[in-house]
Structure 1
Amino acid sequence: MTAVLGVTRVTAVPEGSRSLLDRILLGLASVVMFLMMALTFVDVLGRYLVRSPVPGTFEMIQFLLPWLVFAVLPVITKDETHITVSVLDGVFSERVRRIQSLAIQVFSAAVIVLVCVALWRQGSVLSAGRYVSGYMAWPLAPMAYAMSTLCFLTLLAQLAKIRMAWRKR
């Protein structure tokens, strides 16, 4: 199903066609989003009803947010369900659009590699320095390593897209 929103295109993928890894990542994202919502709800209730917010809520949400973003990134990349601007699509021929798609896929993969490597290096620095969060004193390195690993899964999905785009050209 494709819905057109102005100059953007959003494509939905049927739930039955999802792989096990997709379902795990989307399940993780769902749990994380629920935890963020529940923490915020309980914190606000505590803050305004009994004047006692949940200690460390802001920091817990800071730890949960990267899980949400990086868990869905491989799925969004694989399914190409990210928002795209298609203002010039009608101007170009089919061949030019295929080449454009391949170029975008290669550029995206290069950026993902840079992010993946930067996150892994950041994890190494955080690990060597034994950095921890300010309030909860949670170690920061595992989060950087987890984000890098999920970014690597995104890279694998992106490489599969490049392979498909190369075959279509």
Structure 2
Amino acid sequence: MERIFKIIERVLAVLAGIALFIMMVLTFVDVIGRYGFNKSIFGSSEMIEVLMVVVIFAGVAFVTASDKHIKVDIFAPIIERHAPNLQRWIVHIFSLVIYAGLTYELGRHMLDSLLSGKRTAVLDFPQWVMPGAAVFFSLIGVLLFAAAILATKGRLEKIDHAASGDTHGPEL
């Protein structure tokens, strides 16, 4: 099961990287076309917006699931001395709740956009596509992050017992 999650994480990272590369090439070609040949790419700004959603939300899903996000440790050393695993669990649960709440709100926005029937100004995309992609990647991220938290539970218990000198492991 962990292998499947690692594959999904890798797919998300590669997808975010590909979308970022396409954004970069599209912007480069658009600028060269606009200033060099007086012809820009039609709808490039809307295409870049869609690609940005993929970069941001696939990237956030990957980073959160693999626990590779930037951390600011202001109070962490103090808390870790007194309750190291409590701090880790609180941070993980808090992050999961916030991420799930964000996904829920994105889902509401997607439904509002879907029911309104509005379309984008230039390329005539349905407006629900961008929040829909955000919901899709965020839902994958929430599920991966929840699975990662559950998978680390046993390892954290072993660390707790090893630190306290208990060599028998957790009691059932």
Question: TM-score band (shorter)?
Answer: 0.7 to 0.9
Q: Does 1:39 align with 2:26?
A: yes
Structure with the higher strand share, 1 or 2? 1
Alignment partner, residue 170 of structure 2: none
Q: Distance in 1 between matches of 2:58 and 2:123?
A: 23
Of 95, 100, 120, the match for 1:133: 120
Correspondence for 2:137 among 137, 150, 158: 150
Asked if the contact 1:102–1:165 (Cα under 8 Å) also holds between the matched residues in 2, the reply is: no
RMSD of aligned Cα (Å)? 2.0
C-alpha distance in 2 between matches for 1:106 and 1:52: 50
Unaligned runs of 5+ in 2: 158-172
Deviations 1:5-37 (A, max 9, x none): xxxxxxxxxxxxx83212221221121111100
- Segments of structure 1 that go 5 or more residues without pairing to the other structure are 1-17
2:9/2:65 contact within 8 Å kept: no
* Higher gyration radius (CA): 2
Q: Report what 1:23 is aligned to.
A: 10
Q: Give the partner amino acid of 2:63.
A: I
Pairs aligned (count): 152
Summarize the alignment of residues 91-130 of structure 1 with structure 2, pairs less than 5 Å apart.
91-94=78-81, 96-130=83-117
Q: CA deviation at 1:166?
A: 4.6
Over the matched positions of the two proteins, sequence identity in percent amounts to 25
Instruction: Sort the Cα spacing of 1:118 and 1:33 in 2 relative to 1 into closer, same or farther, 3 A.
Output: same
Instruction: Give the number of the structure whose residues are more often helix, by fraction.
Output: 2
Partner of 1:62: 49
Which sits farther off after the overlay, 118-127 or 83-92?
83-92
Partners of 2:102 and 2:23 in 1: how far apart?
25
Task: Rate the CA distance shift 1:93–1:123 in 2: closer, same or farther, 3 A.
Answer: closer
Any conservation in 2 of the 1:126–1:140 contact (CA below 8 Å)?
Answer: yes
Find the partner of 1:79 among 63, 66, 78: 66
Query: For 2:112, what is the secondary structure of its paired residue?
Result: helix
TM-score normalised to structure 1 length: 0.80
